[in-house]
């Protein structure tokens, strides 16, 4: 099932880890009369979804809310959001975190924000309020969450035009955490000359519970900062409105500690004292900066003292690891919107003029490759030349029977197009003519540049090129050497081809 309600303005997409707060969010949405018919896609991103017989199964828990539930299997929030928005068919897609609470009238304000956006505006951010305790000063964790109220382009409440998401490839799935993937997307929107605005709708973002080491685990985001720098340059923080952070001071702290330890081991007492003083003074300054604005309870002070000694090491380690991992990271393209496959020789073994369903045999990895694309929200189709119909070797009923067998073995396709003409007929659909590719894209509302044709011979690639689509050649026994040499992209197997598509390398 797909979230297809053409009359709706927007689809709400909510990635979740199964938090109890999700029910509260959905109750608030469905209690709003204007949102009663709004398409909602919930993306269950837990690594192992519970069995349907268990009481906390989301499918049963959310059945009364009329949402579409899809499972992404722990791919991370960026990839989960991509799977969600690709299910939508509405002009806009509105992303909400599963722990926010829409304020009364939120949906009406959302529609007003989106209706009022001019054609050059691709994104609209809601206002985020973080309730803090009235009877005491906020803790370090609470102050960190409160920073979301001033953050720019965060997906706690962010809407984008679906066409703009298609053009830029959606969220960059190399960001594995709910951190920086929203800023990266916003910067790419701006680079594509789209405008971003702030609306008047508002959500509450309660502070989630934390544990002793929560602030240390957060330092993994330094690896994502390295990716941001690689993609957007040194000035990315200013462009994204992100605070400067303390990485440079953390580097000095770690250097001081290493100097003290190394000098002590090698017997350089004075250097050890200098390094230890730098480490101790910097750590004390960092800890006090976190303790002084807070409630200064015994538990908070102990947590700040201990974690302030660990955080600099964790931050520097993650930054170094991220800089190395992403040192060659190219610009993100995202997965294509549509992948059109040739049939004979590409998905199933080529049996010349096959009119017998029993002779249909998928090539190795075909079903898995198609299922991976489907799971990622990428639509798949078939474009196949069947000149045997024109010559009378294959009857229309036999063609239908063979196609039914292909779908029984490989799963459903979003679109199937076949050309029944002979080469001498001069039709516009027979590959290498672009007719079938153009028609498939037009029918599904996909721009040809966001479509990839996968085939085993040169005519498949020529049809893609003539239609303005891209292509990948997967050689088969019938593939000629000159076709391999002429192909822009060649993959040794369907599985490798799909890997490259999902990674944005197409």
Q: Residues of 435-456 as b/e, b for ≥16 C-beta within 10 angstroms?
A: bbbbbbbeebebebebbbbbbb
Task: Based on the residue annotation, tell me whether 344 is a catalytic residue of this protein.
Answer: yes
Active-site residue (options: 97, 99, 140, 342): 342
Active-site residue (options: 157, 184, 344, 456): 344
Give the separation between CA 371 and CA 98, rounded to whole angstroms: 27
Give the separation between CA 418 and CA 378, rounded to whole angstroms: 21
Helices (H) and strands (E) in the chain, counts: 20, 13
H helices present in 350-471, as ranges = 366-375, 388-391, 396-410, 435-444, 458-467
157 contacts 201 by C-beta, under 8 angstroms: yes
H helices present in 326-411, as ranges = 366-375, 388-391, 396-410
Query: Which H or E run includes 13?
Result: strand 10-16
Tokens linked to 200: 């008047």
> Residue 313, Cβ neighbours under 10 Å: how many?
16
Give the separation between CA 414 and CA 247, rounded to whole angstroms: 48
Closest to 163 in 3D by CA, of 222, 79, 254, 86: 86
Cα–Cα distance list, 243 to 128, 148, 182 (Å):
18, 12, 15
H helices present in 86-180, as ranges = 106-115, 140-146, 162-168
Query: Which H or E run includes 184?
Result: helix 181-191
The CA-based diameter of the chain, rounded to the nearest angstrom, is 94
How does strand 157-161 pair with strand 92-96?
antiparallel
Give the separation between CA 369 and CA 385, rounded to whole angstroms: 22
194 contacts 121 by C-beta, under 8 angstroms: yes
H helices present in 267-379, as ranges = 269-291, 298-325, 366-375
Give the separation between CA 368 and CA 498, rounded to whole angstroms: 10
**Catalytic positions:** 342, 344
């Amino acid at each position: 099932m797909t979230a297809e309600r053409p009359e709706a303005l927007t689809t709400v997409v909510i990635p979740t880890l199964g938090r109890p707060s999700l029910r509260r969010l959905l109750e608030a949405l469905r209690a709003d009369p204007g949102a009663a018919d709004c398409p909602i896609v919930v993306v269950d991103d837990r690594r192992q979804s519970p069995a349907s017989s268990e009481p906390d199964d989301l499918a049963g828990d959310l059945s009364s809310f009329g949402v579409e539930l899809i499972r992404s299997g722990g791919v991370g929030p960026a990839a989960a959001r991509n799977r969600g928005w690709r299910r939508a068919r509405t002009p806009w897609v509105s992303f909400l975190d599963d722990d926010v609470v829409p304020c009364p009238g939120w949906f009406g304000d959302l529609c007003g924000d989106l209706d009022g956006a001019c054609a050059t505006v691709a994104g609209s951010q809601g206002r985020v309020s973080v309730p803090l305790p009235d009877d005491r000063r906020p803790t370090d964790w609470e102050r960190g969450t409160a920073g979301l109220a001033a953050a720019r382009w965060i997906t706690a409440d962010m809407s984008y035009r679906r066409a703009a998401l298609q053009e830029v490839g959606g969220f960059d799935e190399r960001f594995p955490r709910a951190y920086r993937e929203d800023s990266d997307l916003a910067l790419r929107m701006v680079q594509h000359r789209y405008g971003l605005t702030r609306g008047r709708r508002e959500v509450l973002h309660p502070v989630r519970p934390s544990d002793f080491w929560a602030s240390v685990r957060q330092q993994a985001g330094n690896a994502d900062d390295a990716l941001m720098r690689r993609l957007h340059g040194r000035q990315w923080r200013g462009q994204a409105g992100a605070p400067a952070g303390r990485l440079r001071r953390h580097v000095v702290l770690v250097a001081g500690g290493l100097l003290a330890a190394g000098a002590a081991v090698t017997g350089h007492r004075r250097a050890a004292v200098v390094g230890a003083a730098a480490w101790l003074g910097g750590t004390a300054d960092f800890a006090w900066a976190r303790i002084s604005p807070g409630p200064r309870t015994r538990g908070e002070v102990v947590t700040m003292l201990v974690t302030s000694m660990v955080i600099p090491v964790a931050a520097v380690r993650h930054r170094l690891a991220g800089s190395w991992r992403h040192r060659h990271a190219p610009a993100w393209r995202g997965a294509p919107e549509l992948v059109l496959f040739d049939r004979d020789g590409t998905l199933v073994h080529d049996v010349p003029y096959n009119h017998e369903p029993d002779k249909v045999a998928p090539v190795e990895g075909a079903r898995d490759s198609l299922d991976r694309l489907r799971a990622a929200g990428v639509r798949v189709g078939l474009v196949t030349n069947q000149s045997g119909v024109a010559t009378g070797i294959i009857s229309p009923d036999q063609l239908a029977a063979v196609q039914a067998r292909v779908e029984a073995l490989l799963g459903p396709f979003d679109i199937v197009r076949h050309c029944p003409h002979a080469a001498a007929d001069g039709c516009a659909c027979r590959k290498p003519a672009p007719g079938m590719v153009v028609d498939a894209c037009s029918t599904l509302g996909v721009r040809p540049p966001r479509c990839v044709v996968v085939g085993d011979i040169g005519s498949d690639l020529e049809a893609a090129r003539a239609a303005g689509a891209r292509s990948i050649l997967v050689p088969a026994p019938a593939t000629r050497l000159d076709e391999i040499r002429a192909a822009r992209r060649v993959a040794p197997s369907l599985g490798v081809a799909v890997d490259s598509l999902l990674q944005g390398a197409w």
